[in-house]
Amino acid sequence: MKTVSFRRRYLLPLAALVVLTVSGAGAHAASSHFPTRIVSLSPTATEDLFAVGAGKQVVAVDSYSTYPANAPRTKLSAYSPNAEAIAKYRPDLVVIASDMNHIVAQLGKLHIRVLIQPAAANLNGVYAEIEQTGKVTGHVAGAKQVVTTMRRKVAALVRSVPRPTEPLSVYHELDQTYYSATSHTFIGQMYSLLGLRNIADKASSTSDYPQLSPEYIVATNPDLIVLADTVCCGQTRATVSARPGWGTIKAVKTGEIVAVNDSIASEWGPRIVLFLKAVASAVKTLENQSK
Amino acid sequence: MIEATAERRSKQCWRCGRTFGCADGEPGCWCESVLLCRETLAELRTVADDCLCPACLGALAEPEPSERRRWAKAVPHVAVRARGVPFPWGLAALAFLICALLVGLAMGPISIGAGAIAESALSHLPWLHVHSPLGATDQAIVWQLRAPRVVLAALVGGMLAIAGSAYQGVFRNPLADPYLLGVAAGAGLGATLAIAYASAASRSGELLPLAAFAGATVAVAAAYVLGRSVGGVRNAGTLILAGVTVAAFLTAVQTFVQQQRSDTLLEVYSWLLGGFASASWHNVVIVAPYIALSSLVILLHRRVLDVLSLGDDEAASLGINVRRTRLIIVVAATIGTAAAVAVSGLIGFVGIIVPHTIRLLVSTSYRAIVPLALVLGGGFLVLADVIARTVMSPAELPIGVVTAFFGAPFFAVVLRTTRRLGA
């Protein structure tokens, strides 16, 4: 059961501390060759690798790396990784998000380099990881371009949303038993960027990903509901509107229920811009309605 | 010798109507000196509500002790002494349940005045013309979110407690709980399979509770068949072992499936933890018939549970078909538990601590335990749920945490107390 808490989007994001672990005593660290056979066991890392232009160097990605579609998806597991199964792809670099099953030590015995890129704590962490991916794979310029574009788009989106004196409130839903995310989390910070008030913050003393009471959600009457449980749990605007008692919520009345793909809202790579865009456009619609 | 100092009270013999003094079987009561044949005593226990007078009991006594017979002291078993639920306890239990329901309705993360809730309740009655003072949002919170949750918690709590007492009686095992024969493992596997392999859209409907229900009943059926094939029907211990075996196997399958589909971990985990966060009237309507039927069957067998508690042989000598009776009670308890689990997940400890509290405080007779467990179990879980949704408000606490947090220390007390009694 314990492993559950390691689900990435439920992890308290560690500081954007990115560790490059080199096998042995760092003997290979000075190697000037860029890796040509990369295995990624992290959906975010897969996205980053392809974004910076290192896609051709990637030989295998784990079973949950669903984006981009042309990534060489395999049955490799990121949650219970097996060193032998990974070694079968003869990688010269393995990118992981967390050291499950002591995989770093295991791969170290096989003299395989490991790059740990934990879930980023904030946007700067995302940029740093993309730049690091570029540096390690030999695509510094590509990475720089990705980051510059992201920065520009994010800034434009942040500028584009209106800032009413009374900030709009948002409820971010992780599953249909009302788990949510506070502003301490990466996804919560996205709402802060757009000037939204996160209703989960009142419960931040318990956890960064608290389970909210449905009474509280209905009573707080959020202006906006963001569903990050459309794929996992089949939630839609219709299922939310049909929940007993939820009909009185503003977001349900106005229909401002943003359904996002779970993976976009939980993989903190370049596609986070899409998430911001979806939320920002809902905010703009709401503001236009109130005028 | 200890003098007969026990305090006697006046009683009427239920057989002949004569008045006599009785110390309710406490040490020192006159009935200690009357020797009854064990079979006679067992038979008395099934028919009697209370003690017999010296004349009637004496008539049943063995004229002269014979070596071939097994002897039992005539001190009436609690089963004979207890007249079902003692009136004050019954009243107290009902009062507890009603208070719990009212507290459950009045308290929540959103504070709404109790008076306003009462007025709003009255406004639902057509001929009173009371106007509800609550706004639409509060109205929805109280009647669409809170009320079904309270009712569902009461139903599930009552079911788990009554099923726990039934299992404890049938298996003569104080540690038996409703999950003994694999209900939990089966329901867990059913739910995990549904979450892992069914499409997300189909799962938002009834599929998940149905899968959990089916898993739970199949698991117990498998345990029963396995137990029977190794001759366990006559031996309750073997049946329990069969249940443990089936549970271990199903848990292994469940863990395997869960590992294969690690993207479903959170959903499985949150299902296993259980709770009433997403309770609705629809859930109440689905499970109420199962719980009502199952509780009724167990209630009707409360006297038989007392007889079974004497031992299989004694029960059989009284003409009870032990095998069939045990099957009926197990089936009833399982179906009710499976229905409860299907809508609320796995909530531990209720099935153990509620019957044991009653045993300690009121009586060890199933004629008292079974009905009281139904009522007190409901009240207990409603209060546990109030804690779960208010203490960390507006966050929810998993209800299993609340029941176990109170359950574990309670268990320590039970153990201490029973050791003291045994010494």
Name, in order, each residue with C-beta under 8 angstroms of A134's C-beta and a sequence gap of 6 or more. A52, A54, A140, A141, A142, A143, A144, A146
CA A156 to chain centre: 21
Nearest CA in chain B to A182: B395
Residue B337 has which token pair?
């538990």
From chain B, pick out residues whose CB is under 8 angstroms from the CB of A246: 140
- Degrees (nearest 5) of the Cα angle B322, B212, B173? 35
A213 vs B393: CB contact, 8 Å cut-off?
A: yes
What is the reported pLDDT for B86? 82
Maximum Cα interatomic distance, chain A, rounded to a whole number of Å: 64
* Helix, strand and coil in chain B, % to nearest 5: 70, 5, 30
Domains with residue ranges and CATH for chain B? 9-81 (no CATH), 87-422 (1.10.3470.10)
**Which residue out of A175, A179, A211 would a mutagenesis test of the B interface target, given it has the greatest number of B Cβ atoms within 10 Å?**
A211
A51 contacts A270 by C-beta, under 8 angstroms: yes
Q: Is B87 exposed, middle or buried (0-12, 13-18, 19+ CB in 10 A)?
A: exposed
B281-300 vs B366-390: helix crossing angle, rounded to 10: 160
Residue B315 is inside which H or E element, if any? Answer: helix B312-317
From chain B, pick out residues whose CB is under 8 angstroms from the CB of A211: 270, 277, 395-396, 398
Query: CB of A176 within 8 Å of any CB in chain B?
Result: yes
pLDDT along chain A (291 residues), means of 10: 42 40 40 84 94 94 90 88 90 92 88 92 94 94 95 94 90 92 94 94 89 92 93 87 91 92 87 93 87 68
Residue B318 has which token pair?
């009284």
Tell me the H-state helices in B205-311: 207-229, 236-260, 265-273, 281-300, 302-308
DSSP chain A: -GGGGG-GGGS-PPPS--EEE-STTTTTTT--SPPSSEEE--HHHHHHHHHHT-GGGEEEE-TT--SSTTS-B-S--SSS--HHHHHTT--SEEEESS-GGGHHHHHHHTT-EEEE-PPPSSHHHHHHHHHHHHHHHT-HHHHHHHHHHHHHHHHHHHHHS---SS--EEEEESSTT-B---TTSHHHHHHHHTTPEEGGGGGTTT-SSPBBPHHHHHHH--SEEEES-TTTS---HHHHHHSTTGGGSHHHHHT-EEE--TTTTT--STTHHHHHHHHHHHHHHHHHHH-
Distance in Å from the first CA to the final CA of chain A: 50
What is the reported pLDDT for B400? 85
ipTM score: 0.70
Q: Rg of the Cα trace of chain A?
A: 20
From chain A, pick out residues whose CB is under 8 angstroms from the CB of B145: 214-215, 218, 244-245
**Which phi and psi angles does A209 have, rounded to 5°?**
-125, 70
DSSP A81-105: --HHHHHTT--SEEEESS-GGGHHH
Rounded Cα distance, A22 and A104, in Å: 9
Q: Nearest CB to A214: which of B266, B269, B277?
A: B277
A234 vs B201: CB contact, 8 Å cut-off?
A: yes
Sign for the CA dihedral angle at B50, B354, B309, B320 comes to positive
Query: CB of B345 within 8 Å of any CB in chain A?
Result: no
Instruction: From residue A23, give the alpha-carbon distance in Å to each of A32, A42, A98, A104, B283.
Output: 15, 20, 16, 8, 55
Pairing between strand A93-96 and B19-22?
unpaired
Q: Nearest CB to A231: which of B110, B200, B270?
A: B200
A158 contacts A194 by C-beta, under 8 angstroms: yes
Residue B276 has which token pair?
């009433």
- Among A121, A177, A136, A111, CA closest to A52: A136
Query: CB of A232 within 8 Å of any CB in chain B?
Result: yes
B388 contacts B202 by C-beta, under 8 angstroms: no
Rounded Cα distance, B144 and A30, in Å: 65
Residue B311 has which token pair?
């031992």
Query: CB of A237 within 8 Å of any CB in chain B?
Result: no
What is the reported pLDDT for B278? 83
B6 contacts B28 by C-beta, under 8 angstroms: yes
Angstroms from B389 CA to nearest CA on chain A: 7
Three-class SS of A202-237: HHCCCCCCCEECHHHHHHHCCCEEEECCCCCCCCCH
Query: CB of B278 within 8 Å of any CB in chain A?
Result: yes
Contacts with A, B 386-415, CB within 8 Å: 389, 392-398
A204 contacts A234 by C-beta, under 8 angstroms: no
**Which residue out of A215, A220, A232 would a mutagenesis test of the B interface target, given it has the greatest number of B Cβ atoms within 10 Å?**
A215
Residue B73 is inside which H or E element, if any? Answer: strand B71-73
CATH number of A2-151: 3.40.50.1980
Residue B391 has which token pair?
């203490």
CATH for A162-290 (3.40.50.300, 1.10.760.10, 3.30.300.10, 3.40.50.1980) = 3.40.50.1980
- Degrees (nearest 5) of the Cα angle A202, A205, A207? 100
**Which phi and psi angles does B97 have, rounded to 5°?**
-65, -45
- Among B200, B341, B327, B323, CA closest to B283: B341
What is the reported pLDDT for B65? 54
Query: CB of A233 within 8 Å of any CB in chain B?
Result: yes
**Which residue out of A98, A198, A213, A216 would a mutagenesis test of the B interface target, given it has the greatest number of B Cβ atoms within 10 Å?**
A213
Nearest CA in chain A to B397: A211
What is the reported pLDDT for B189? 94
Nearest CA in chain B to A80: B259
Query: CB of B338 within 8 Å of any CB in chain A?
Result: no
What is the reported pLDDT for B110? 83
A25-34: long-range pairs with CB below 8 Å, 24+: A28/A111, A28/A113, A34/A136, A34/A137, A34/A138
Residues with pLDDT less than 70, chain B:
1-8, 23-29, 31-39, 42, 45-49, 62-83, 200-205, 232-235, 411, 414-415, 418-423
From chain A, pick out residues whose CB is under 8 angstroms from the CB of B392: 203, 205-206, 210
A38 contacts A92 by C-beta, under 8 angstroms: yes
* The residue type at B117: I
For chain A, the domains span 2-151, 162-290
Rounded Cα distance, A178 and A163, in Å: 27
Pairing between strand A224-227 and B35-37?
unpaired
Give the number of C-alpha atoms closer than 13 A to the C-alpha of residue B301, restricted to the C-beta side: 29
Residue B341 has which token pair?
């689990």
Q: Nearest CB to B109: which of A215, A239, A245?
A: A215
What is the reported pLDDT for B72? 46
Q: Nearest CB to B266: which of A10, A210, A216?
A: A10
Same CATH topology for A2-151 and A162-290? yes
